[in-house]
């Protein structure tokens, strides 16, 4: 079951919300746990068994960690979690359980925080299982600290305006996913299928893929944050308009924030972070970005993608230093866009022969071909909308939207777009979220 499926929108979510809102406060945790189990069951019984097993193992192990707080005991836990993750994620003969990368990291963060006395042990098994299995984030994050979730689960502090704003956030994510990201996905597939690409087709492919990946994942984050808000769960933002960044360092502060934060807190800082010598700091950065690449996929291109960013960040830190910030803003933006667009070659193409052919075509096939003209003409509105979604609304625009009459108009627009979304889904245009692959 996915957030953008008719089953979720018209059956699962309404029934869940009805029961959640009518039961007494002390029973809400059980309703949430039950529906989280049901939600995940629809991904397959085997997937559910793996999730239950990982959660139960870490719940029981937390008592061992809490009692002994021994580094060897901690390492054993980390090894078991990572071996299970690696077994499924990097063995091509096994099916990748949905969301295993995210819920494994959620469990690891709790065990490490407990070891470091940054949180208290969660003794109530229902609260722990609910934290691990929350349907609002179990498949694709955001990666959350158990201590933050636990406080929310105890209170379920939400108001009527939270329900409204949460639903609007969920709906806006659904609209962006179905009407924009999925159609960009079709464009990417069509462009990728062209055997003899011109430089312009290659560039259009990279721009389209960049827009698709960002809008697809950001729309899921919108839906997860919106769902959480509707029931009193306060998730942190996972994206902060990364495509307006002025450097790659800035870009990675804005992109998939929960994953970047996880690697910073649980890998980079324990390795010494930047409180070490230059050589050791460079090694730390390369380790973190190699692991980031490995986390994203089982093929070598993802490791190459991770190392690519590690090297760029090292260059920004030790070669460019403050030179980049002295450039005009538009040049800083152009530099950043060029770097992350080229990086998407490694991210989107796993076959090295195809990758090499693509790079050669990008830099050598300088001609205006009919494929570029056709796909640009047919998708110009889609691309413009996608680009607009990468930018923040100006403050004046936000104030305008708060106007009573504009708000009424926005509700009408939401209703119209929701009807259009449903028609797209009924027409068979359902597409899973890209990050379910990771």
Chain centroid, CA 16 distance in Å? 24
pLDDT for res 12:
94
CA pair distance 198, 193, nearest whole angstrom = 13
pLDDT for res 405:
52
pLDDT for res 254:
94
- Residue pair 68/196 in contact (Cβ under 8 Å)? The answer is no
249-284 pLDDT, tens digit each: 999 999 989 889 999 999 999 999 888 999 999 999
Compute φ and ψ for 94, nearest 5 degrees: -110, 145
Give the Cα-Cα-Cα angle 235, 236, 237 (nearest 5 degrees): 120
- Residue pair 368/200 in contact (Cβ under 8 Å)? The answer is yes
The active-site residue, picked from 137, 296, 333, 366, is 296
351-371 pLDDT, tens digit each: 999 999 999 999 998 888 899
* Catalytic residue list contains 296: yes
pLDDT for res 406:
57
pLDDT for res 165:
87
184: helix, strand or coil: helix
Torsion sign (Cα): 138, 211, 314, 283: positive
pLDDT for res 398:
58
Residue numbers in the chain where pLDDT is lower than 50: none
Whole-prediction pTM = 0.90
Residues written for the chain:
438
């Amino acid at each position: 079951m996915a957030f953008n499926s008719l089953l979720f929108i018209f059956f699962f979510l309404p029934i869940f919300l009805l029961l959640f809102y009518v039961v007494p406060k002390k029973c809400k945790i059980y309703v949430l746990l039950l529906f989280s189990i049901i939600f995940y069951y629809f991904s397959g019984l085997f997937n559910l068994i793996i999730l239950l097993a990982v959660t139960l193992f870490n719940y029981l192990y937390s008592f061992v960690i809490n009692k002994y707080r021994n580094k060897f005991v901690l390492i054993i836990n980390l090894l078991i979690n990572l071996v299970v993750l690696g077994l499924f994620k990097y063995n091509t003969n096994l099916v990748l359980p949905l969301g295993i990368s995210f819920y494994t990291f959620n469990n690891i963060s709790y065990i490490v925080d407990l070891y470091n006395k940054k949180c208290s042990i969660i003794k109530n098994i229902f609260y722990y299982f609910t934290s691990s299995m929350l349907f609002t984030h179990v498949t694709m994050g955001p990666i959350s600290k158990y201590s933050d979730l636990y406080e929310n689960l105890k209170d379920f502090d939400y108001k009527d305006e939270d329900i409204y704003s949460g639903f609007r956030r969920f709906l806006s994510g659904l609209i962006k996913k179905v009407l924009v990201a999925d159609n960009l996905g079709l464009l990417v597939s069509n462009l990728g299928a062209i055997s003899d690409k011109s430089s312009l087709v290659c560039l259009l492919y990279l721009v389209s893929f960049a827009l698709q990946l960002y809008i697809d994942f950001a729309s899921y984050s919108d839906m997860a944050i919106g769902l959480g808000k509707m029931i009193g769960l306060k998730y942190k933002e996972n994206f902060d308009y990364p495509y307006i960044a002025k450097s790659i360092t800035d870009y990675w502060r804005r992109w998939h924030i929960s994953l970047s934060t996880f690697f910073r807190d649980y890998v980079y800082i324990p390795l010494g972070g930047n409180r070490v010598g230059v050589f050791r700091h460079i090694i730390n950065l390369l380790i973190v970005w190699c692991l980031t690449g490995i986390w994203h996929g089982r093929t070598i291109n993802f490791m190459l993608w991770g190392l690519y960013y590690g090297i760029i960040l090292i260059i920004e830190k030790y070669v460019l230093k403050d030179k980049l910030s002295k450039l005009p803003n538009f040049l800083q933006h152009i530099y950043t866009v060029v770097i992350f667009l080229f990086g998407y070659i490694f991210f989107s193409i796993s076959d090295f022969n195809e990758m090499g052919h693509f790079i050669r075509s990008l830099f050598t096939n300088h001609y205006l071909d009919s494929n570029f003209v056709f796909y640009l003409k047919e998708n110009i509105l889609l691309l413009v909308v996608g680009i607009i979604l990468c930018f923040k609304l100006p403050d004046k625009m936000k104030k305008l939207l708060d106007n009573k009459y504009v708000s009424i108009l926005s509700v009408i627009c939401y209703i119209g777009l929701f009807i259009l979304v449903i028609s797209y889904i009924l027409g068979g245009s359902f597409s899973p979220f890209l990050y379910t692959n990771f």
